[in-house]
């Protein structure tokens, strides 16, 4: 029984080289956005703050199929980034932001169960 559980875990995890490759792809995309000022934040140094680091790490976690931690890092990064870069957050967004994040977490739990079920059937 233990051998079966370990083989399922190994199949579900990415090879370290894949994670490193995903890291460089996302980092390249972040540099592309920053050097071309696609978010209208200003200089390149304005793009690389602790808030954008949270969003960056969250995107990497999503790509590695770590849905819940990835979503929480992205949501937290956007929450703190909003006031610094886009002015004060409208009251409507303040009231629906975290409930929407929690609903997305529930949706991601459901989606991740399909991935787990698929691995069990293989």
What confidence tens digit (pLDDT) does each residue in 57-87 have? 888 888 777 888 888 899 888 888 887 767 7
% of the chain exceeding 70 in pLDDT: 81
Domain that holds residue 58: 2-121
Distance of CA 3 to the CA centre of its chain: 31
Answer for the pair 71, 62: CB distance below 8 angstroms, yes or no. yes
Q: What are phi and psi of 89, to 5 degrees?
A: -75, 130
> Is pLDDT above 60 for 11?
no
Residues 23-38, mean pLDDT to the nearest whole number = 84
% of the chain exceeding 90 in pLDDT: 1
Residues 88-109, mean pLDDT to the nearest whole number = 85
* Backbone torsion region of residue 49, taken as left when φ is above 0, otherwise alpha when ψ lies between -120 and 50, otherwise beta: beta
Cα–Cα distances in Å, from 113 out to 27, 69, 108, 120? Answer: 29, 15, 8, 10
User: Count of CB atoms within 10 A of residue 18's CB?
Assistant: 12
Of the pLDDT bands very low, low, confident and very high (cuts 50, 70, 90), residue 38 is confident
So what's the pLDDT on residue 121?
56
Among 15-19, 48-52, 87-91, the range with the most confident prediction by mean pLDDT is 48-52
- Total number of domains constituting the chain: 1
∠ CA 25-86-88, nearest 5°, is 140
Q: Which long-range contacts (CB under 8 A, 24 or more apart) does 23-30 make?
A: 23/60, 26/56, 26/59, 26/60, 26/63, 27/56, 30/56
Q: Regarding predicted confidence, which is higher, 35 or 116? A: 35
Tokens of 80: 């703190």
């Amino acid at each position: 029984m233990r051998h079966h559980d370990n083989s399922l875990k190994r199949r579900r995890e990415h090879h370290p080289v894949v994670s490193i490759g995903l890291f460089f792809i996302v980092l390249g995309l972040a540099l592309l956005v920053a050097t071309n000022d696609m978010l209208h934040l200003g200089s390149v140094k304005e793009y690389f703050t602790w808030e954008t680091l949270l969003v960056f790490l969250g995107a990497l976690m999503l790509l590695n199929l770590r849905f819940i931690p990835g979503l929480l890092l992205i949501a937290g990064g956007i929450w703190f980034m909003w006031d610094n870069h886009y002015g004060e957050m409208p009251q409507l967004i303040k009231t629906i932001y975290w409930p929407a994040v929690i609903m997305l977490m529930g949706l991601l739990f459901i989606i991740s169960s399909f991935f787990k079920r698929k691995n069990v059937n293989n």
